[in-house]
Chains A and B, each alone.
Chain A
Amino acid sequence: MDSTVTTATNESVWGGGNQPLGASYGKLMMWFFLVSDALTFSGFLASYGFSRFKFIETWPIAELVFTHVPFFHGDYPLYYVAFMTFILIMSSVTMVLAVDAGHKMQQTRVIWYLFLTIIGGAIFVGSQAWEWSTFIRGDYGALETKGGRILQFVKADTGERAALADFAKNIPSEREDLQRDKGLWFQSEGYLTSRSVDEVVEGFVANPNILIRTETINDDNHKTVLTREESLKRIKDAAHVVEGANLIHNEYGSRLFADFFFFITGFHGFHVFSGVMINIIIFFNVILGTYERRGHYEMVEKIGLYWHFVDLVWVFVFTFFYLV
């Protein structure tokens, strides 16, 4: 009788102790939490899809954005995220091995497997932080137009990206810093880019080898590179210099892309971080022999569910942010 009705012959079903779903109260609640959390993440990812479909022709191409690997120079799209994915799947495996050892009441093995899981989680969160800082710092720099569009630069002869520093002119100019004693109490200097708009525009006009690459995706799934004449016309729209990405400006393209990147990977990274914290607590409980005295390791199983869920979410984030 594998149905929802309890098969116990217990007369008083109101007395508690029935488990129609064959799972304990704690495990069931963990599942309910995970279902609601899955819906939260789905909401995020679906609204990402909404914004992307809205700007389907100008959305940033992920391989042009995430091209770095720590300690290596050059253009290596996807490799580092693939490594992160593997680390997370691997830590999921050590977790499921810990749960399995828990079923067999093997305390030492649970300790070791949980330890490896925590290490894997820490490597993942660290990689995530590195990914964020690389994204925030930016690499080549770009111009933003009055309409909020991004103009990037490529070299005409090689087709490689051109950094602002490669061609911008150095125009000496004077500006006065906003001091705290001037202006109102909430006003401050704010963030300054390394070059001004004039320096970039002058340098661009003087250097015929530089072309503008717009956000528009052409039929070959590449970003459109303008001709020199079109570029000279387009550069007149420039309004700001953008270096790196934040919630307001994004040198890689649509600012919504940066917003969703921060929110979705941030929300996921926060889950991983809290997962590591919970794992550490349970890890010490296992060492202290709490579950040995309790007679079962169901707590390890419950945090295991949470940990696998974090991995499950990452599988989707990986697909929709980096692959599709």
Chain B
Amino acid sequence: MAHAHKLEIFRGLLKFKTNVQKIWAVLVFLTIVTTIEVALGIIKPQALTHSHFLGMKVLNWIFITLTLVKAYYIAWDFMHLRDEKNSLRRAIVWTPIFLVLYLIFILLFEADYIYNVFKFGFVKWNF
């Protein structure tokens, strides 16, 4: 059991006196991020929906990035991975990341191929 808590977030930018304070600060941060996401989702700024990066809308990249940021703080501070040994943390974090990245890569590539078959091949499905 990790009794010693590391009481700083944002790479030491914010330091807290107690663990409880840190928890509430993380809640505030997560709420702000969620609010930004929802606001962007409702407004859908033209500049972000019409520009693309690596075949996907910039807005979607922003959503995914913010999600990963939220996931980081949930795992690091709520699940207190920040207080665990490096070896445990690496085993837990990098194993799924590696596998999931690979899975996403092959599935999305395959899906794009099928999309092209449907679009340009002699297949009629949209009738």
Q: Is B85 an interface residue, CB under 8 A from the partner?
A: yes
CB atoms of B31 and A89 under 8 A apart: yes
Given contacts A38-B96, A38-B100, A54-B111, 16 further A-B contacts (CB under 8 A): A2-B87, A3-B87, A21-B88, A49-B104, A49-B108, A50-B110, A54-B118, A58-B126, A78-B38, A96-B23, A103-B3, A147-B125, A296-B1, A301-B1, A308-B75, A322-B41
| Contact assessment for A78 and B88 in the assembled complex, using a CB-CB cutoff below 8 Å | no
A22 contacts the other chain (CB 8 A): yes
Distance in angstroms between the alpha carbons of A141 and B3 in the assembled complex? 57
In the complex with contacts A46-B107, A103-B3, A315-B74, A97-B20 CB distance below 8 A: yes
Q: What does the 1/0 interface line of A24-55 toward B look like (CB < 8 Å)?
A: 10011001001100110011001101111111
Report which of A54, A85, A296 forms a contact with B34, defined as CB distance below 8 A: A85
Taking a contact as CB atoms under 8 Å apart, the answer to whether B75 and A93 are in contact is no
Which range holds the interface residue count of chain A? 35 or more
A41-75 contact mask (Cβ, 8 Å, vs B): 1 or 0? 01100110111111110100001000000000000
Which residues of the other chain, B, contact A158 by a CB distance below 8 angstroms? none
Name the distance in Å between A135's Cβ and chain B's nearest Cβ: 18
Q: Which 7 A-B pairs have the closest CB atoms?
A: A53-B111, A147-B127, A21-B88, A319-B67, A50-B107, A22-B85, A82-B38
Can you spell out 18 A-B residue pairs with CB atoms less than 8 angstroms apart? Answer: A27-B1, A31-B88, A39-B99, A42-B99, A53-B108, A77-B41, A89-B31, A93-B27, A95-B78, A99-B80, A100-B19, A100-B20, A103-B1, A221-B44, A221-B49, A312-B79, A319-B64, A323-B40
Query: Which residues of A are found within 8 Å of B70, using beta-carbon distances?
Result: 315
The interface residues of chain A lying within 8 Å CB-to-CB of B31 are 86, 89
A46 to B105, CA, bound (A): 9
Q: Is the interface of A mostly helix, strand, loop or mixed?
A: helix
B56 to chain A, nearest CB (A): 9
Query: Which residue in chain A gives the minimum CB-CB distance to B96?
Result: A38
Q: Is B9 interfacial (CB-CB < 8 Å)? A: no
Q: Which residues in A have their C-beta under 8 angstroms from that of B27?
A: 89-90, 93
- For B85, the chain A residues whose CB sits under 8 A away are 2, 21-23
Within 8 Å CB of A53, what residues of B? 108, 111-112, 115
Would you give the 0/1 interface string for B102-125, flagging 1 where the beta carbon is closer than 8 Å to chain A?
011001101110110010000011
Residues of B within 8 A of A31 (CB): 88, 92
Interface status of B8 (Cβ within 8 A of chain A) = no
Q: Chain B 16-53, CB within 8 Å of chain A: the 1/0 string?
A: 00011001101100110011011011101000010000
Contact of A268 with B by CB under 8 A: no
Q: Is A4's beta carbon under 8 Å from chain B?
A: yes
A21: shortest Cβ distance to chain B, in Å?
A: 4
Chain B residue at smallest Cβ distance from A315: B70
Interface status of A208 (Cβ within 8 A of chain B): no
Q: Which chain A residues have a beta carbon within 8 Å of chain B's beta carbons?
A: 2-4, 20-24, 27-28, 31, 34-35, 38-39, 42-43, 46-47, 49-56, 58, 63, 77-79, 82, 85-86, 89-90, 92-93, 95-97, 99-100, 103, 145-147, 149, 216, 221, 237, 296, 298, 301, 304-305, 308-309, 311-312, 315-316, 318-319, 322-324
Which residue of B is nearest A306, CB measured?
Answer: B79
| B44 contacts across to A, CB distance below 8 A | 221
Q: Is the CB of A298 within 8 A of B67?
A: no
Tell whether, in the assembled complex, residue B114 and residue A54 are in contact, meaning their CB atoms are under 8 Å apart. Answer: yes
Nearest A residue to B70 via CB reads A315
- In the bound complex, residues from chain B placing their C-beta under 8 Å from that of A95 are 78
A79 surroundings in chain B (CB, below 8 A) = 38
Chain A residues within an 8 Å CB radius of B111: 49-54
A221 contacts across to B, CB distance below 8 A: 44, 49
Known contacts A49-B104, A54-B114, A298-B1, A22 near B88 by CB under 8 Å: yes
Chain A residues with CB under 8 Å of B104's CB are 46, 49
Question: Which of B42, B49, B110 is the one whose CB lies under 8 Å from A78?
Answer: B42
